[in-house]
Amino acid sequence: MTELTELSANELIKLTALQMAERLRAGEITSVELTQAHLDRIAAVDGPADGQGTGVHAFLHVNTEEALAVAAEVDAIRAAGGTEAQDLHPLAGVPIAVKDLIVTVGQPTTAASKMLEGWMSPYDATVVEKIRAARLPILGKTNLDEFAMGSSTEHSAFGDTRNPWDLGRIPGGSGGGSAAAVAAFMAPLALGTDTGGSIRQPGAVTGTVGAKPTYGAVSRYGVIAMASSLDQVGPVTRTVSDAAALQELIGGHDPKDSTSLPEPMDGLLEAARNGELAGLRIGIIAELEGEGFQEGVLARFQESVQVLKDAGAEVSEVSCPHLGYALGAYYLIMPSEVSSNLAKFDGVRFGNRVVPDGGGTIEQVMGATRAAGFGDEVKRRIILGTYALSAGYYDAYYGSAQKVRTLIQRDFAAAFEQVDLLISPTSPVTAFPLGEKLDDPVAMYNNDIATIPANLAGIPGISVPAGLSEGLPVGIQFLAPARGDATMYRAAAALESRLEEAWGTPFWAQAPELAASSAAAPAGVENAAATATAGGEN
Amino acid sequence: MSAITREDVAHLARLAHIRMDENELDKMSGELAFIMDAITSVSEVAGQDVPRTSHPIPLRNVFREDVPSGMLTQEQALAMAPDAEDGQFKVPAILDGE
C-alpha cells in the first residue's frame, strides 16, 4: 500500500494507475490535479505535436480542454457523494492516451497518414465509448507508423517518436507513441493495437508493459483496420496489474464486432494480484532464443527464466517447428488484408482528395490521391498484397500462408498440452538508432519475429521489462492459450514482482531523467537479477 | 515461383489505384523482389493435406436482430467528404470526355 502523503506533481505522475485510482478514491488528490500534472509533463517533455521539436513527440494531438472537463466532472461527482459517486468505475479520473488509429469524436484521427490529416470521426470506437463511460480523461492521440505499418514509428507521416530511454533511438512500433507516452510519465495508461507485435515490441524497447489480448477479447469496432484477422486492441501501462485492470475495462462482447468473443473474460486483475507461480508449467520456445537475438537480450531472458524457476515454476523447453515460417506467412496474409482494407481510402467519401494538374477522371483522381496520401511502406504492402491475391499466384502465396497459419496453430496446441504458458524474448534486439533500418524493409520486419506467431494463432501475449542491456530495456514475452489471458497476467505479475524485489525498485522508476536524455541509465538494474539468482547467466 | 518484375509492379499499381512514376517503379520492384525472396519459403511446408486457416478463432452464425441502429445522419456522413453537393458525395467524371 502506498503511504498517503502529499506528493509533488513529479511524484504524482510516477505512481501506477492503480495507485492513482486509490488516491482519487481516498480523496487525497483530485482528477483535475492529476490530469493537469500529466498535461504539464506533456508540455515539458513532448515538444510540439507537429514533430518539429526535439522532445519525445509521443502525441499527435493533445486534448487539454476535454480532458480537464472530464476530470472536473469526476471530481464533482465524488465531492457530491451518494450512489453516483459509489458507482464510479474504479479507474474513473485516471487519465489515458489513445493510439491515433482508434477513432474519437471531438479529436482528429489520422492513423499518422496524410490521407486522413485533419479527419474528424463522426463516431467513437467501442473502446473509446467504454473509456468515456468509465470517465477516464483522454489526454490525446498518440503517434504510430502510418496505418500501424512498421516497427519503429518512423513511418509516421507526422515525424518520429523518440525513445525516452535514449532520444536518438526508436520507441518501437507501430505503437511507439503510446509506449513512449507511458514510459516518459506523460500518461499512466494508453491504448494500443497489435497486428504483429505493435503493442508488445514497443513495450519491450521502452521498458513498459504491453498486452495483446486473445483475438476477439476486445472490440475492434472503430479501430481503423489494418489486417482484420490479426488486429487486436490492448493495454499499454507501466505495471502488469495496471494492464489487467485496463483490459477488464475495455474488454467484453460487442455486437458491433462480429469477431468479438461472446463470453466475458473476468478475473484478470485478481489473477495479476495473485502472482502465484508454484506448479505452473512454463515452456521456453526453442525456436525463439538463438540466432538473430542479441546477447544482452538473451542474458536478461535467461535470468528471468531462473527467477521463474526459483519461484516454483516448472520450466522446460518445447519446440514449435513451424515458427520459422511465421514471418513469411505474416508478410503474405497481412498485406493481402491490407490491400483490401485500405481500398476505401480513395478520396471519395472521406479523407483528402488530390486532383491531378488539369483535372482528370475519378480513376486518375484516385491514383493521384493514393500516390500523395500513402507513404512508401503502406504502398509496398498494398502492392505486395495485391500481388499475393492475384490470379495465378493466389494458391502459391496467400493459400500457402493460410496453411502455414494452420501449422503454427497446431504447434501451439501441441505445446499447450505440455505446458501452461510459453516464454521468449519479446524483441530480438533493444532499441536501435533512428534511421538504422529505415531503408531495409526485411531487417525492419525481423523485429517482430517473436511477436507475430501469437497474432497468426489468435493467442494472448504480454511483454514485461526484464532488465537492461547496455542501458536499454529488454522485454520478456509470455504467451497463453486462447482465452488464457488470466494465466498470462498471473505469471507476468509474478515475474515482475520478483524482479522488482531483486532490483530493489520498480523497473520504470529507473528511467533516465529526460532533461539528460542520452545520459547512461543507472547501473543498478542491469545485473541485479543475475546477482539475485544463483544460476543466472550473464 | 517467378520473381516480381518491374512490369508486374506497374500493373499492380494500376490495379491498386496508386500512381507511380518511373523512379518509384524501379525502387519498388527492387524492394518487393527482395521481400518476396524472404517470404516465399512458406510453400515448402504447405502440403496438399493441410487445411487453410482464414480466421484465428472460428465463430459461427454471428447474427443480430434485423433492426436499423447506429446510423449516421446525411449531414454527419457528408461532413468530412472531400466534395459534396445536394446531400450527395460529388466525384469527378467516371469516363473520359464527359
Q: How far apart are CA A501 and CA A495, in angstroms?
A: 10
Domain count across chain A: 1
CA of A46, closest CA in chain B: separation in Å? Answer: 29
Residue A79 lies in a domain: yes
Question: For A339, which residue in chain B has the nearest alpha carbon?
Answer: B16
Residue B54 lies in a domain: no
Residue A350 lies in a domain: no
A&B contacts, CB < 8 Å: 184
pLDDT tens track for A132-155: 999 999 999 999 999 999 999 999
In this structure, the number of other CB atoms found within 10 A of the CB of residue A141 comes to 29
In this structure, the number of other CB atoms found within 10 A of the CB of residue A414 comes to 13
Q: How far apart are CA A47 and CA A186, in angstroms?
A: 12
pLDDT tens track for A287-315: 998 788 999 999 999 999 999 999 999 99
Concatenating the DSSP letter of every residue in A214-225 gives PTTSB--TTBPP
CB A379 within 8 A of CB B18: yes
Residue B64 lies in a domain: no
pLDDT tens track for A24-60: 999 999 999 999 999 999 999 999 988 888 899 999 9
Q: What CATH number is attached to the domain comprising A433? A: 3.90.1300.10
Residue B5 lies in a domain: yes
Residue A342 lies in a domain: no
CA A161 from centroid of its chain's CA atoms: 14
Question: For A456, which residue in chain B has the nearest alpha carbon?
Answer: B56
pLDDT tens track for A259-293: 999 999 999 999 999 988 999 999 999 999 878 89
pLDDT range class, residue A21, cuts 50, 70, 90: very high
C-alpha cell belonging to residue A482: 486462447
CB A65 within 8 A of CB A78: no
Q: CA nearest A465: which of A284, A307, A288?
A: A307
Q: Do A403 and B46 touch (CB under 8 A)?
A: yes
pLDDT tens track for A420-473: 999 999 999 999 999 999 989 888 999 999 999 999 999 999 999 999 999 999
C-alpha cell belonging to residue A45: 517533455
C-alpha cell belonging to residue A64: 487539454
Q: Do B16 and A407 touch (CB under 8 A)?
A: no
Q: Decide: helix, strand or coil at residue B35.
A: helix
Q: CB within 8 A of A430, min separation 6: which ones?
A: A205, A294, A296, A297, A469, A470, A472, A473, A474
Question: What is the pLDDT at residue A522?
Answer: 39
Start-end of H helices in A419-451: 441-445
What share of chain A has pLDDT > 90, as a percent? Answer: 87
B60 interfacial to chain A (CB closer than 8 Å): no
Residue A331 lies in a domain: no
In the predicted structure, residue B1 carries a pLDDT above the cut 70: no
CA A16 from centroid of its chain's CA atoms: 17
DSSP for residue A436: T
Q: How far apart are CA A456 and CA A230, in angstroms?
A: 6
Q: CA nearest A173: which of A189, A184, A162, A165?
A: A162
Q: CA nearest A494: which of A423, A416, A417?
A: A423
In A101-169, the DSSP E strands lie at: 138-142
H, E, C per residue of A345-382: CCCCCCCCCCCCCCCCCHHHHHHHHHHHHCCHHHHHHH
C-alpha cell belonging to residue A276: 502465484
Q: What CATH number is attached to the domain comprising B37? A: 1.10.20
Question: For A334, which residue in chain B has the nearest alpha carbon?
Answer: B54
Q: How far apart are CA A153 and CA A204, in angstroms?
A: 14
Hunting for cell 498485406 — which residue is that? A335
Q: Do B39 and A262 touch (CB under 8 A)?
A: no
In the predicted structure, residue A499 carries a pLDDT above the cut 90: yes
Residue B89 lies in a domain: no
Residue A374 lies in a domain: no
CA of B67, closest CA in chain A: separation in Å? Answer: 13
B16 interfacial to chain A (CB closer than 8 Å): yes
CB A206 within 8 A of CB A185: no
Higher pLDDT, A83 or B1: A83
Phi-psi region of A222 (alpha: psi -120 to 50; beta: other; left: phi over 0): left
B31 interfacial to chain A (CB closer than 8 Å): yes
Residue B65 lies in a domain: no
CA of B26, closest CA in chain A: separation in Å? Answer: 12
Q: Decide: helix, strand or coil at residue A495.
A: helix
In the predicted structure, residue B93 carries a pLDDT above the cut 80: yes
Q: Give the CA angle between residues A433, A179, A385 to the nearest 5°.
A: 75
In the predicted structure, residue A328 carries a pLDDT above the cut 50: yes
Residue B1 lies in a domain: yes
- Which residue range is the domain that position B10 belongs to? 1-45
Residue A146 lies in a domain: yes
Residue B69 lies in a domain: no
A-contacting residues in B 75-94 (Cβ below 8 Å): 76-77, 79-83, 89, 91-94
Helix axes of A485-503 and A295-310: crossing angle, nearest 10 degrees: 100
Domain count across chain B: 1
In the predicted structure, residue B98 carries a pLDDT above the cut 60: no
Which residues on neighbouring strands pair with residue A282, listed in sequence order?
A: A315, A421
Residue A152 lies in a domain: yes
Question: For A337, which residue in chain B has the nearest alpha carbon?
Answer: B54
Question: What is the pLDDT at residue A521?
Answer: 37
Question: What is the pLDDT at residue A341?
Answer: 98
Q: Decide: helix, strand or coil at residue A204.
A: helix
CA of B28, closest CA in chain A: separation in Å? Answer: 7
Q: Do B55 and A456 touch (CB under 8 A)?
A: no
**How many helices (H) and strands (E) would you count in chain A?**
19, 11
Partners of residue B36 in chain A, C-beta under 8 Å:
384
φ, ψ of residue A62 in degrees (nearest 5): -110, 130
Phi-psi region of A449 (alpha: psi -120 to 50; beta: other; left: phi over 0): alpha
Q: Give the CA angle between residues A110, A115, A118 to the nearest 5°.
A: 45
Q: Do B1 and A396 touch (CB under 8 A)?
A: yes
For residue A78, CA distances in Å to A7, A18, A20, A39, A84 come to 20, 17, 15, 22, 8
Residue A87 lies in a domain: yes
Q: Do A120 and B16 touch (CB under 8 A)?
A: no
- Which residue range is the domain that position A466 belongs to? 9-325+403-532
Question: What is the pLDDT at residue A504?
Answer: 95
Concatenating the DSSP letter of every residue in A263-293 gives S----HHHHHHH---TT-EEEEEGGGSSTTS
- The partner residue sitting opposite B12, judged by closest CB among A364, A387, A409, is A387
Question: What is the pLDDT at residue B4?
Answer: 86
Catalytic residues of A: 99, 174, 198
B72 interfacial to chain A (CB closer than 8 Å): yes
Partners of residue A456 in chain B, C-beta under 8 Å:
56
Question: What is the pLDDT at residue A526?
Answer: 45
pLDDT tens track for A162-214: 999 999 999 999 999 999 999 999 999 999 999 999 999 999 999 999 999 99
Question: What is the pLDDT at residue A523?
Answer: 39
Q: Do A383 and B52 touch (CB under 8 A)?
A: no
Average model confidence (pLDDT) across chain A: 93
Q: Decide: helix, strand or coil at residue A479.
A: strand
Q: Do A328 and B39 touch (CB under 8 A)?
A: yes
What share of chain A has pLDDT > 70, as a percent? Answer: 95
Question: What is the pLDDT at residue A497?
Answer: 97
pLDDT range class, residue B97, cuts 50, 70, 90: low
Question: What is the pLDDT at residue B64?
Answer: 82
CA of B6, closest CA in chain A: separation in Å? Answer: 12
Q: Do B59 and A262 touch (CB under 8 A)?
A: yes
Q: How far apart are CA A244 and CA A211, in angstroms?
A: 9
pLDDT tens track for A471-492: 999 999 999 999 999 999 999 9
Q: How far apart are CA A102 and CA A117, in angstroms?
A: 14
Terminal alpha carbon distance of chain B: 43
pLDDT tens track for B57-91: 988 888 888 998 888 999 999 999 999 999 999 99
Q: Do B8 and A396 touch (CB under 8 A)?
A: no
Q: How far apart are CA B31 and CA A256, in angstroms?
A: 38
